[in-house]
Chains A and B, each alone.
Chain A
Amino acid sequence: MNNLEPASPQSSAAQKPQVALFATCLVNTFHTKVGFAAAALLDAIGYSVEVPTQQTCCGQPNYNNGDHNGAITVAKHTIETLTSYDHVIVPSSSCAGMIKNHYPRLLDAEHDWRRKAEGLANKTWELVDFVYQKKRHALPSNADFRKTITHHDSCSSIRETKVTDQVRSLIAECLPNAHFKELSESEACCGFGGTFCVKFGDIASQLATNKITDIGNTKADYCTSLDSGCNAHLNRFAESYETVRLQHLAVFLAEQLNLATFESAKD
């Protein structure tokens, strides 16, 4: 069982436990690389990755903008799409939090649906949390990596999924010679907030600028995060900091640990 070798995509999927990858709409549409990197991490720790084709969105755009009924129908669709899997892995704290914490509440009035929502909530994981808790020792390490990293804790990774210490430990284990530097205000919001950054552009940009300054001050080579939403938002302002690369932690790890990704298969 405890396969310490990183599994290759071609190895027989039949004996491996299966997980469903729920990509989230942002990764699905724009940050597709995060999806492939997530799959590579899961594959590397010995899981067979399934990407259910019926998946769409977790429903947060509707839920957070006053359309609870719309959110309920999207939630039901997602529950039906994912309910048959043993584990559902989400490469976003925000969307994982939506499924884990908010679906049951949203469907509170409908007994059967609430039960199903709770069932799904219990087996849904934020990607890095899953990798860390389940099989972090199965990941390879790269002792040659000696650069400086900082990490942006998204608000949802602090409060919805509580994946903060896991990130530090995972980086320390996989990249033992990396230099990790904390941000000075690691709990400050970057200003993304879904549609918030559209509705209140100038406040959002001020908050992003604060965050980027904080990141820049660490003089890190890489800044990782668990949420593509924050990354997309921060990237608008990151151009002035040519030296730092903002990456989803999954992409960063897949690159630095040289994991085989399925993406290359299309070439």
Chain B
Amino acid sequence: MKTIDPINTTNPNGFKNQASAALEDTNLQTALQRAKSGFIEKRKKAIHLVDDFEHLKTQAQQAKQSALDNLNHHLALFEKNVVASGGAVHRAKTPAELNQIVLKICQQQNAKLVTKGKSMVSEETHLNAFLEKHGISTAETDLGEYIIQLAKEKPSHIIAPAVHKTRQQVAELFKHNHELGERDLEEIRALVDEARAMLRKAFLLADVGITGANLLVADTGSVAIVTNEGNGDLTATLPKTHIVTASIEKVVANMEDAGKILQVLGRSATGQAMSTYTSFFNGPRRTEDLDGPSAFHVVILDNGRSDILNSKYKDMMRCIKCGACLNHCPVYGAVGGHAYGDVYPGPMGSVLTPLMKGIEQATPLPNASTFCGRCEEVCPMSIPLPELLRQLRNDQATKGLAPKLQSMALGIYGWLARKPRLFQLTMGMFGRVVKLFKVSHILPQETPAPDAPDTFVQQWKKSKQGHSENE
């Protein structure tokens, strides 16, 4: 029996209802609770182990910023060096363009099966669905991605796509999809082994391997990917063709700068000094190489990023997709990633989604923050996420997208706040009403007696007058 997963029909403007549903989902709550404490603790430990993490952050930010400041130059240099090593670079302005380019390469290879490493860019463009529509099967090889592909869902986290699932749910999913008979899938190890066995076939059969990119190194033309499962390497090296899907802001000047970013990436993401596998790919297989693909393509997506770079939101382009802001966000921690209704969840997604999709397409997201500031604190690239969200709220109001009642109330309040006497009278009255109707949640435990309903300023004035009369 198939059930329609509501997760696949979510959208950013439906955040409020999606969040409410998420709060009711006990499996999701169990999974989130476990994941959250793990991520936070691991990061804390990893950072504790280095002498001066602030210094590493500064270095990484400078490396990234200098690449962004001269982006076109670095992208051109990257392209030149990829070509020099025998590969090809393609530029895609829109998700549709990227999909077309990838499809064309696959068709030239007569590809029937594509293996995929984790790539958020391909999530952005819905590449899997597009290829499947054109008769090309896709097999996700990252364990998390594999799980959600089986479940016909979308990633709920940018580095841990299936973090919303409990181990029991994954076991059920495997039993349902792999016809292997009765077996014990109680232990994580058993789950991993089974996935590995299933994926092995795909690795050997695939015609094309598609991976994402964590970094594009301009002066060597290398593509770096970091994984913990080694699946990225098998995806990149076993098939005859390797396609990298990346986005423009991934480029850095040189290996030294790449190293600076890698130093903060693993620690911020999973609390690792370095991910288990950090691989650099340089063009197709050379004659003296023992393995590797015979064709190497890098497709670089813009999808609104150039516009963001030219706007007051340009800081967002320093993001290295480490996921730390998700892991430390109270709202993400409570509702998970699917509630956000798009590819990028959490604080970084609440900034990116409206910027990439249109501000009116994601109005709840910038508001879905308590401004606790923890995201900015843990962001290795020091992106001022709360400030960017605040700017987006301001843009919403300027464009007339804020709720009318809210704008009206703020208008009145802002006006009152410049009329001190009237402000005291109104607030006193407001307080009286709240106390009268016992709107208890606004009242402190030490609720003032109802016969003293004045504001503090009014009470203070009276008590002072009392004093001078007494003296």
Contact = CB atoms under 8 A, between A and B. Distances in A.
Task: Tell me which of A61, A231, A238 has the highest count of chain B C-beta atoms within 10 A of its own C-beta.
Answer: A61
Q: Which secondary structure characterizes the binding site on chain A?
A: helix
Contacts of B367: 196, 199-200
Contact of A57 (B417, B444, B463, B471): B417
Interface stretch (B128-136, B140-148, B277-285, B423-431): B423-431
B374 A73 contact: no
B393 interface: yes
Contact of A245 (B414, B430, B445, B454): B445
A172 to B, nearest CB: 24
Contact of A65 (B16, B402, B448): B402
A150 B307 CA distance: 48
A207 interface: yes
A206 B411 contact: no
A217 B457 CA distance: 37
A203 interface: yes
Given A56-B418, A56-B423, A77-B417, A232 B444 contact: yes
Contact of A70 (B373, B414, B443, B452): B414
Contacts of B372: 155, 159, 189, 193
A53 B367 CA distance: 33
B397 A236 contact: no
Interface in B327-369: 330-331, 334-335, 367-369
B442 interface: yes
Nearest to B455: A28
B19 A200 contact: yes
A73 B414 contact: yes
A65 B454 CA distance: 28
Contacts of A123: none
B23 A193 contact: no
A232 to B, nearest CB: 6
A266 B430 contact: no
Interface stretch (A29-37, A82-90, A109-117, A138-146): A29-37
Interface residues of B, number: 65
A110 B413 CA distance: 23
Given A61-B410, A71-B414, A262-B460, A203 B440 contact: no
B288 interface: no
A188 B441 CA distance: 21
Contacts of B370: 155, 189, 191-194, 196, 204, 207
B322 to A, nearest CB: 19
Nearest to B430: A29
B94 to A, nearest CB: 30
Interface string A228-257: 100111011010000001111001000000
A206 B371 CA distance: 17
B183 interface: no
A203 B331 contact: yes
A144 B198 CA distance: 68
B417 A207 contact: no
A64 B390 contact: yes
A71 B460 CA distance: 26
A5 interface: no
Contacts of B414: 59, 62, 67, 70-71, 73-74
Task: Tell me which of B396, B418, B428, B457 has the highest count of chain A C-beta atoms within 10 A of its own C-beta.
Answer: B457
Contact of A55 (B396, B445, B457): B457
Nearest to A265: B463
A131 interface: no
Nearest to A71: B414
B28 to A, nearest CB: 12
Contacts of A67: 394, 397, 407, 410-411, 414
A263 interface: yes
B330 A28 contact: no
Nearest to B441: A236
Contacts of A74: 414, 417-418
B457 A28 contact: yes
B416 interface: yes
Contact of B20 (A32, A53, A57, A202): A202
B467 A265 contact: yes
B443 A30 contact: yes
A248 B394 CA distance: 32
Contacts of B417: 56-57, 59, 73-74, 77
6 contacts: A33-B446, A53-B420, A64-B371, A66-B397, A73-B417, A266-B463
Given A189-B370, A203-B334, A232-B441, 19 more contacts: A31-B444, A32-B452, A56-B420, A56-B423, A61-B410, A64-B390, A70-B414, A73-B414, A189-B372, A189-B374, A192-B370, A200-B19, A200-B367, A202-B20, A207-B370, A231-B444, A251-B446, A262-B467, A265-B466
**What 6 A-B pairs have minimum CB-CB distances, sorted nearest first?**
A193-B370, A70-B414, A66-B397, A155-B372, A236-B441, A66-B393
